[in-house]
């Protein structure tokens, strides 16, 4: 399947055409378009109207300086210690298999063999180039916040992702940025009380990148949704 780069005209189209996009065109996003997305996303709901998202949008030189430094550290084998664990460990079924299948489908599309650890690591490393996107977004949160505010930020991310689709843009939400809290702080200058929670790539999808043909599986809705009627 080829990635749908049309401007979504309905919420349903935006939801169905959104995929985590791991390859972008070298084409800037117009500033007005970008600011329009963040203007509208202000209307995201949050418990108690706390609006716990602190958002840093990097483009151009600041973006290149940031990702350049992170990639430089990666090449020297340096990381900064994850701010949180991505998944419960060990993960149990069926989530364990869902996660495994996602990886197998992605590496399969890219022609990367199971035992080709260096190639797999290179692909994971693409996270830290924001997959070549012209816009890198970093969301920081006050360390005193907890699960209810993480929910709010999840809703905020989905708002951004759907608004991006309306503009013909694509996105990739990225927990991966939890691995570079110090470099994030250096480049965003966020206050000491905050820490990186999540990032996002945004830009025009490259339809020629095979990785963008990945359509991830989903459970049937009746597996996870219970109607009590
Ligand atoms: C909060 C969050 C964090 C994620 N972090 C990453 C990440 O660091 N790197 C990545 O490649 N994908 C990341 N993803 C993308 C998921 O793998 C993806 O959403 C899932 O496999 C479903 O695929 P889809 O988004 O293409 O529908 C993240 C998604 C979410 C919602």
Provide the pLDDT for residue 151. 98
Residues with CB under 6 A from ligand 1: 19-20, 22, 102, 127, 172-176, 198, 216
pLDDT of 100-158, one tens digit each? Answer: 999 999 999 999 998 999 999 999 999 999 999 999 999 999 999 999 999 999 999 99
pLDDT of 57-99, one tens digit each? Answer: 999 999 999 999 999 999 999 989 888 999 999 999 999 999 9
Q: Which of 179, 168, 175, 177 has its CA nearest to residue 204?
A: 168
Ligand 1 center from residue 171 Cα (angstroms): 10
Provide the pLDDT for residue 158. 98
The residue contributing the CA closest to ligand 1 atom 25 is 20
pLDDT of 186-214, one tens digit each? Answer: 999 999 999 999 999 999 999 999 999 99
Q: What does pTM read for this prediction?
A: 0.97
Ligand 1 atom nearest residue 126's Cα: 11
- Residues whose CB falls within 8 Å of the CB of residue 213, separated by 6 or more in sequence, listed in order: 1, 2, 3, 109
Average pLDDT over residues 40-57: 98
Rounded to whole angstroms, the Cα distance separating 4 from 13 reads 10
Ligand 1 center from residue 125 Cα (angstroms): 14
Task: List the chain domain ranges.
Answer: 11-85+130-209
The residue contributing the CA closest to ligand 1 atom 27 is 19
Residue whose token pair is 């006050």: 142
Average pLDDT over residues 11-16: 98
Provide the pLDDT for residue 114. 87
* Ramachandran region, residue 81 (left: φ > 0; alpha: ψ -120 to 50; beta: rest): left
- Choose which residue among 100, 175, 196 to substitute to test ligand 1 binding: the one with the highest number of ligand atoms within 8 A of its C-beta: 175
For the CA atoms of the chain, what is the radius of gyration?
18
Alpha helices in the chain (DSSP H): 11-17, 31-41, 60-75, 95-109, 117-125, 147-166, 181-188, 221-224
Provide the pLDDT for residue 188. 98
Beta bridge partners of 201: 136, 172
Average pLDDT over residues 17-27: 98
Provide the pLDDT for residue 83. 87
Fold of 11-85+130-209: NADH Oxidase (3.40.109)
């Amino acid at each position: 399947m080829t990635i749908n780069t049309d401007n979504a005209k309905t919420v349903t189209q935006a939801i169905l055409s959104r995929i985590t996009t791991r390859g972008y065109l070298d084409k800037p996003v117009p500033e007005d378009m970008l600011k329009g997305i963040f203007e509208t996303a202000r209307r995201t709901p949050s418990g108690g109207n706390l609006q716990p998202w602190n958002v840093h949008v990097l483009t151009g030189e600041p973006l290149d300086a940031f990702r350049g430094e992170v990639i430089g550290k990666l090449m020297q084998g340096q990381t900064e210690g994850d701010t949180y664990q991505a998944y419960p460990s060990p993960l149990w079924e069926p989530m364990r298999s869902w996660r495994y299948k996602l990886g197998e489908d992605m590496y399969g599309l890219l022609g990367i063999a199971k035992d080709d650890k260096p190639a797999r690591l290179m692909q994971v490393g693409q996270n830290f180039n924001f997959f070549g996107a012209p816009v890198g977004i970093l969301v920081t949160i006050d360390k005193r916040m907890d699960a209810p505010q993480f929910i709010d930020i999840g809703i905020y991310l989905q708002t951004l992702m759907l608004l991006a689709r309306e503009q013909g843009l694509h996105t990739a939400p990225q927990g991966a940025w939890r691995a570079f809290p110090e470099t994030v702080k250096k480049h965003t200058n966020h206050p000491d009380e905050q820490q990186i929670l999540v990032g996002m790539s945004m830009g025009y999808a490259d339809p020629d990148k095979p990785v963008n043909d990945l359509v991830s599986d989903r459970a049937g809705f009746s597996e996870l949704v219970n109607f009590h009627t």
